[in-house]
């Protein structure tokens, strides 16, 4: 069962949301509703299921409703219609008290402009969530100190937020959110206000922390590169409607419509996609055999290349052409293990970018081997080239800004 | 040409005041007594204490508020000059009335300011009343006040409160409304109750503005002392009033100087405190 589920969530801002809802149900669009009634359609029939342990990214331009959407998850905003379920329970039925308890225990939040309390020290800010739920000073400060250290701010416990740089302030925001121990972390454009370098450091830190803590993260951003980098899955929001939900590779390789396609056009695929997206499973695995038998085996599979395995695991890669050449040449190695090129291996989650130099040098397809030592696939230089060339060939629809700078 | 609105309004008002005096006189008397008890205690302490103690207390207070020696010494010097003008005792009486008025203003003003910040409807209701309180001549409400409480210090304090509270209400409202929305949202997101948000975030962050309001209230309370002396409040205001009645310009000037010096002392101390609580906030905004 999904951890968080949104069912038919619609949000209308304005004087008479119910009346607006009736119009929207009758098929009135966002712009028409605004023109006729002055009401704003924030979200329209949003359905999402967020699984435990994933980093779920909601991506959209300003005005797409993404900040509205994330505020529905902890009811900073209540929907006009629909259900918000956490662990199968509809949080819209919660009383004020139950909602407070829910926010204290289950969900914490990181804000775009940090939302730190300027009159509290770093330590007191980090301890805020614990203080609110009534933990004793000593206990909460111990926890807070621990988190301040984990986000790399040891020594700044007694500083005030304004004495810190933006990146450091957001680390305080992150530590504050993590300190409550809530299993769901909501991040509203959390890194958008930071410098690019700091931003990518924070992304790395988030990914590392997530791998260690295994919490569920719902992350809002207007930056597709960021979404692709950190997201397990991505939902693309446009005018309050979810246009596509998928893994980064699915979004990049199979955009649901022109809007998404225009978005992904300028993405650096080599960075955004991992080896997994271009590898093909090896058709032919060979052990240390004679060249004749190896060639026969490869022909039988119709494979142009093969992975050579030994008792202790991966040995190298051979191509059919090489084996043939070796059979005809005199003085060439007679054993397959000697002929195999010990090409470097890559894990499936390596960005393609890092594999490119090796792919160009090795002269053979590169094997993809997971942490356990199993060969998962092969990456040919041609496949890499094709993947990277595709974007040049595409002609994207004009008029859609793909890299918005504003974050209002 | 004009319909007679004045006659009925006047009679109705008089009947209402009479009714209140008759029906609720005891209640007002009890209220007056409570205020008087506090006032007398403060006044006695100030007047009976050796001036040196009071001067030392002013110096200490100024230093705690500003953390600057020079400012503290200047404040002591101002107070010393009041003594040298021969108005020490009167000044202490005035300070006592002012302190009680300001305390009452805070007690009324801050909660009303908070209520006004939370609800636009409350604000829309309060605002015209505040305008009225600030513009209507104080003599107008001194008449019923004197009827309810008799002549003396209590009606003087009430008149001062009516005149001096509006800026505190307005500045409390403004201060709370100006608190960063995202900070308030953050505390909501962490499950803070409304009370926790108010006491832990909104009021502390609005404090510079609230302090400014208290400062304004003090200044306006001092501006009321001469009028207050007309209904029997003692103090430097009375000195000015006597100067006026006797055509003694010199005495009027002495009283006026003492009021100005008192204003400087209170203004500097509260301003210094206000800007010090602000140091950790301004840069964050």
CATH number of the domain that A368 lies in? 3.10.580.10
Domains in chain A, number = 2
Higher-confidence residue: A332 or B222?
A: B222
H or E stretch covering B181: helix B181-189
Per the domain annotation, does A408 fall within a domain? no
The mean pLDDT of A190-201, rounded to a whole number, is 88
Question: What per-residue confidence (pLDDT) applies to A406?
Answer: 45
Name the average pLDDT for chain B: 89
Contact assessment for residue A108 and residue B190, using Cβ atoms and an 8 Å cutoff:
yes
Contact assessment for residue B223 and residue B236, using Cβ atoms and an 8 Å cutoff:
no
Per the domain annotation, does A212 fall within a domain? yes
> Distance of CA B216 to CAs B94, B139, B211, B227, B273, Å?
17, 21, 9, 18, 14
| Structure tokens belonging to residue A203 | 């992304």
Per the domain annotation, does A177 fall within a domain? no
Cβ contacts (< 8 Å) between B183 and chain A: which residues? 115-118
Q: Return the CATH number at A71.
A: 3.40.50.300
Per the domain annotation, does A259 fall within a domain? yes
The tens digit of pLDDT for each residue in B184-206 reads 999 999 999 999 999 999 999 99
Regarding whether A357 and A326 lie in a shared domain, the answer is yes
| pLDDT of residue A173 exceeding 90 | yes
| pLDDT of residue A402 exceeding 80 | no
The mean pLDDT of A390-398, rounded to a whole number, is 50
Question: What per-residue confidence (pLDDT) applies to B280?
Answer: 57
Cβ contacts (< 8 Å) between A176 and chain B: which residues? 190
Question: What per-residue confidence (pLDDT) applies to B194?
Answer: 92
User: How much is the pTM?
Assistant: 0.77
For an interface test with A, which of B190, B211, B276, B285 has the most A Cβ atoms less than 10 Å from its Cβ? B190
Please report how many Cα atoms fall inside a 13 Å half-sphere around the Cα of residue A271, on the Cβ side.
Answer: 12
Question: What ipTM does the predicted assembly reach?
Answer: 0.76
CB interface of A with B, residues 92-111, below 8 Å? 99-105, 107-109, 111
| pLDDT of residue B119 exceeding 50 | yes
Regarding whether A208 and A101 lie in a shared domain, the answer is yes
Cβ distance of A186 and B187 shorter than 8 Å: no
Cβ distance of A76 and B283 shorter than 8 Å: no
Percent of chain A with pLDDT over 90: 44
Shortest Cα distance from A129 to chain B (angstroms)? 5
The tens digit of pLDDT for each residue in B126-175 reads 999 999 888 888 888 888 888 888 788 888 888 889 889 999 999 999 99
Cα torsion through B45, B46, B47, B53, rounded to 10 = 100
Distance of alpha carbon A208 from its chain centroid, rounded?
13
| pLDDT of residue A287 exceeding 50 | yes
> Distance of CA B24 to CAs A26, A53, A301, B141, B144, Å?
62, 68, 106, 17, 13
Regarding whether A252 and A189 lie in a shared domain, the answer is yes
The tens digit of pLDDT for each residue in A43-70 reads 999 999 999 999 999 999 888 899 999 9
For an interface test with A, which of B183, B189, B196 has the most A Cβ atoms less than 10 Å from its Cβ? B189
| Structure tokens belonging to residue A249 | 């590779």
Neighbours of A269 (CB within 10 A): 22
Shortest Cα distance from A181 to chain B (angstroms)? 12
Question: What per-residue confidence (pLDDT) applies to A105?
Answer: 92
| pLDDT of residue A405 exceeding 50 | no
Residue A207 belongs to domain spanning: 4-106+182-267
| Structure tokens belonging to residue A392 | 């040049």
Question: What values do phi and psi take at A346, rounded to 5?
Answer: -130, 150
The mean pLDDT of A157-179, rounded to a whole number, is 93
Tell me how many degrees the CA angle A51-A54-A56 measures, rounded to the nearest 5: 90
| Structure tokens belonging to residue B138 | 């104080």
Question: Is B284 in the A-facing interface, judged by CB distances under 8 Å?
Answer: yes
Contact assessment for residue A251 and residue A234, using Cβ atoms and an 8 Å cutoff:
yes
Question: What per-residue confidence (pLDDT) applies to B281?
Answer: 55
Regarding whether A319 and A192 lie in a shared domain, the answer is no
Q: Residue B99 and residue B57: Cα distance in Å, rounded?
A: 15
| Residue recorded with tokens 């207390």 | B57
Nearest to A359 by CA among A325, A321, A385: A385
Question: What per-residue confidence (pLDDT) applies to B71?
Answer: 92
Please report how many Cα atoms fall inside a 13 Å half-sphere around the Cα of residue B114, on the Cβ side.
Answer: 17
For A134, nearest residue in chain B (alpha carbons)? B192
| pLDDT of residue B278 exceeding 50 | yes
pLDDT-based confidence at A401, cuts 50/70/90?
very low
pLDDT-based confidence at B285, cuts 50/70/90?
very low
Question: Is B279 in the A-facing interface, judged by CB distances under 8 Å?
Answer: no
Nearest to B280 among A113, A119, A132 (CB): A119
Question: What per-residue confidence (pLDDT) applies to A397?
Answer: 44
Shortest Cα distance from A111 to chain B (angstroms)? 8
| pLDDT of residue A408 exceeding 90 | no
Per the domain annotation, does A254 fall within a domain? yes
The mean pLDDT of A315-333, rounded to a whole number, is 80
Regarding whether A213 and A281 lie in a shared domain, the answer is no
Question: What per-residue confidence (pLDDT) applies to A391?
Answer: 55
CB interface of A with B, residues 168-197, below 8 Å? 176, 180, 186
């Amino acid at each position: 069962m999904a951890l968080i589920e949104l069912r038919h969530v619609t949000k209308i801002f304005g004087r008479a949301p119910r009346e607006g809802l009736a119009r929207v149900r009758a098929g009135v669009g966002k712009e028409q509703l605004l023109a006729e009634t002055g009401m704003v359609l924030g979200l329209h029939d949003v359905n999402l299921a967020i699984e435990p342990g994933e980093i779920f990214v909601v991506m959209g331009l300003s005005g797409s409703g993404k900040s509205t959407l994330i505020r529905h998850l902890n009811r900073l905003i209540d929907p006009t219609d629909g259900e918000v379920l956490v662990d199968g329970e509809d949080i819209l039925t919660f009383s004020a008290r139950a909602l407070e308890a829910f926010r204290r225990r289950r969900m914490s939040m990181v804000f775009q402009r940090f939302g730190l309390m300027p009159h509290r020290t770093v330590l007191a800010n980090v301890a805020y969530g614990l203080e609110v739920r009534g933990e004793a000073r000593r206990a909460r400060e111990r926890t807070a100190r621990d988190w301040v250290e984990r986000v790399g701010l040891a020594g700044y416990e007694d500083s005030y937020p304004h004495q810190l740089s933006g990146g450091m302030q957001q680390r305080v925001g992150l530590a504050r959110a993590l300190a409550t121990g809530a299993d769901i972390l909501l991040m509203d454009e959390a890194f958008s206000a930071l410098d690019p370098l700091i931003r990518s450091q924070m992304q790395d830190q988030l990914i590392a922390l997530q791998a260690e803590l295994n919490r569920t993260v719902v992350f809002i951003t207007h930056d597709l590169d960021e979404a692709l980098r950190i997201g397990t899955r991505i939902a693309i929001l446009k005018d309050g409607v979810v246009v596509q939900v998928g893994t980064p590779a699915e979004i990049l390789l199979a955009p649901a419509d022109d809007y998404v396609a225009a978005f992904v056009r300028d993405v650096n695929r080599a960075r955004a996609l991992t080896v997994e997206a271009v590898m093909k499973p090896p058709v032919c695995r060979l052990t240390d055999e004679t060249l004749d038998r190896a060639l026969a085996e490869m022909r039988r599979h119709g494979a142009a290349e093969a992975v050579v395995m030994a008792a202790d695991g991966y040995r190298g890669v051979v191509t059919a052409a090489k084996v043939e050449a070796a059979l005809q040449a005199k003085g060439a190695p007679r054993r397959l293990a000697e002929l195999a090129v010990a090409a470097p291996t890559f894990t499936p989650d390596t960005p393609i970018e890092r594999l490119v130099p090796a792919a160009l040098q090795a002269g053979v397809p590169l094997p993809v081997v997971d942490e356990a030592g199993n060969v998962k696939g092969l990456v040919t230089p041609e496949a890499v080239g094709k993947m990277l060339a595709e974007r040049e060939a595409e002609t994207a629809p004009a008029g859609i800004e793909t890299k918005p700078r504003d974050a209002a | 040409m004009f319909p007679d609105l004045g006659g009925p309004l006047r009679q109705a008002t008089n009947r209402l005041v009479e009714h209140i005096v008759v029906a609720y006189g005891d209640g007002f008397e009890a209220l007056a007594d409570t205020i008087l008890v506090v006032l007398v205690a403060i006044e006695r302490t100030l007047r009976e204490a050796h001036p040196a103690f009071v001067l030392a207390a002013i110096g200490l207070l100024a230093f705690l508020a500003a953390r600057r020696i020079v400012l503290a010494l200047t404040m002591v010097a101002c107070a010393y000059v009041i003594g040298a003008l021969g108005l020490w005792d009167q000044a202490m009486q005035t300070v006592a009335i002012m302190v009680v008025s300001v305390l009452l203003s805070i007690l009324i003003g801050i909660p009303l300011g908070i209520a006004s910040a939370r609800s636009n409807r409350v604000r829309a209701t309060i605002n015209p009343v505040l305008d009225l309180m600030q513009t209507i001549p104080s003599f107008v409400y001194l008449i019923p006040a004197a009827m309810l409480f008799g002549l003396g210090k209590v009606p003087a304090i009430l008149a001062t409160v009516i005149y001096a509270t509006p800026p505190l209400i307005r500045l409390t409202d403004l201060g709370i409304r100006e608190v960063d929305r995202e900070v308030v949202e953050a505390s909501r997101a962490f499950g803070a109750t409304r009370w926790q948000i108010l006491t832990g975030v909104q009021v502390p962050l609005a404090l510079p503005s609230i302090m400014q309001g208290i400062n304004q209230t003090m200044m306006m309370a001092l501006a009321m002392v001469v009028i207050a002396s007309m209904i029997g409040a003692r103090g430097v205001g009375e000195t000015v009033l006597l100067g006026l009645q006797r055509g003694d310009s010199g005495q009027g000037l002495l009283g006026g100087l003492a009021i100005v010096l008192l204003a400087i002392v209170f203004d500097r101390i509260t301003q210094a405190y206000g800007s010090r609580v602000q140091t950790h906030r301004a840069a964050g905004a």
